[in-house]
């Protein structure tokens, strides 16, 4: 086991879905997987392994923000040899044509900083999704009722943002949505030669100020989980 993941060797599958919320990990595992076993409860960051259509899958919470996600992705790769990591999470739309409950497949993620920023010094590294996963996710999404959008997103390192000027520039340059984890996930995947993708559901809107009530969020996230699973095993 690692410092922050209490799983034993062999407990974690090569394919890992990563919601930020540990209770969303529990909901997704109980809803979509069979023969589910809880493999991690360290610091309340729940993880579960089960099967989907005969394939082993782990669903592990990552916490909020890139520093937290970085801990779990590093340990999943280094200590448990995870091969495919797919973030499943919520995001805030930044374009008028993107609606509440829509699904976004992130091709790349812009950011002010990540835990990896010191490694690149003056270089502005552009982290990107795995194209094979992205391609398969798009085809999976076409059969779902939720509209799907493909493009760049913004990974913020603060939740209570006080930079309206920056949000305006993100919108101006076609950024679809904002969340808090994807850029570091894609950077770590590139570093360790792993596959990564972010499949996101729009839970609120920075322009219209619409938002899903918390009790409706889980019910709206089923398409996102199914798209991630189908992309991983297509």
User: Is 203 known to sit in a ligand binding site?
Assistant: yes
User: Is 20 known to sit in a ligand binding site?
Assistant: yes
Catalytic residue chosen out of the listed positions 11, 79, 157, 204:
204
User: Is 96 known to sit in a ligand binding site?
Assistant: no
User: Is 179 known to sit in a ligand binding site?
Assistant: yes
Give the whole-angstrom CA distance, residue 125 versus residue 66.
16
Contact 228, 134 (CB under 8 A): no
User: Is 195 known to sit in a ligand binding site?
Assistant: no
Residue in the block written with tokens 């059969």: 143
User: Is 204 known to sit in a ligand binding site?
Assistant: yes
79 is catalytic: no
Give the whole-angstrom CA distance, residue 222 versus residue 234.
18
User: Is 66 known to sit in a ligand binding site?
Assistant: no
Residue in the block written with tokens 């309340």: 44
Give the whole-angstrom CA distance, residue 6 versus residue 220.
30
Contact 73, 85 (CB under 8 A): yes
Q: How many residues does the chain have?
A: 234
Burial class (CB in 10 A: 0-12, 13-18, 19+), 53: exposed
User: Is 90 known to sit in a ligand binding site?
Assistant: yes
User: Is 87 known to sit in a ligand binding site?
Assistant: yes
Give the whole-angstrom CA distance, residue 26 versus residue 47.
7
**212: phi then psi, degrees, rounded to nearest 5:** -80, 135
User: Is 161 known to sit in a ligand binding site?
Assistant: no
The distance from CA 202 to its chain's CA centroid, rounded to whole angstroms, is 12
User: Is 88 known to sit in a ligand binding site?
Assistant: yes
Give the whole-angstrom CA distance, residue 109 versus residue 52.
29
H-type alpha helices, 146-221? 164-172, 182-192, 214-220
Residue ranges for the known binding site for a purine D-ribonucleoside are 4, 179-181, 203-204
Residue ranges for the known binding site are 4, 20, 24, 43, 87-90, 179-181, 203-204
Where in the sequence numbering do the catalytic residues fall? 204
Residue ranges for the known binding site for phosphate are 20, 24, 43, 87-90
């Amino acid at each position: 086991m690692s410092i922050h993941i209490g799983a034993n060797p062999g407990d974690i599958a090569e394919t890992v879905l990563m919601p930020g919320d540990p209770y969303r990990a529990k909901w997704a595992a109980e809803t979509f997987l069979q023969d589910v076993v809880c493999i991690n409860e360290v610091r309340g960051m729940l993880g579960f392994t089960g099967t989907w259509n005969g394939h082993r899958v782990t669903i592990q919470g990552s916490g909020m923000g890139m520093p937290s996600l970085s801990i779990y992705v590093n340990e999943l790769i280094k200590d448990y040899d995870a091969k495919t990591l797919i973030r499943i999470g919520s995001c805030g739309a930044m374009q008028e044509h993107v609606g509440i409950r829509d699904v976004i497949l992130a091709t790349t993620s812009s950011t002010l900083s990540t835990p990896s920023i010191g490694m690149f010094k003056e270089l502005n590294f552009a982290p990107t999704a795995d194209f094979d996963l992205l391609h398969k996710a798009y085809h999976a999404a076409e059969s779902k009722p939720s509209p799907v959008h493909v493009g760049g997103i913004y990974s913020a390192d603060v939740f209570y943002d006080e930079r309206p000027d920056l949000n305006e520039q993100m919108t101006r340059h076609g950024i679809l949505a904002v969340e808090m984890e994807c850029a570091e996930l894609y950077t770590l995947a590139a570093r360790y030669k792993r596959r990564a993708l972010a499949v996101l559901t729009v839970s609120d809107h920075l322009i219209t100020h619409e938002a899903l009530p918390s009790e409706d969020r889980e019910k709206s996230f089923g398409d996102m989980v199914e798209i991630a699973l189908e992309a991983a095993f297509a």
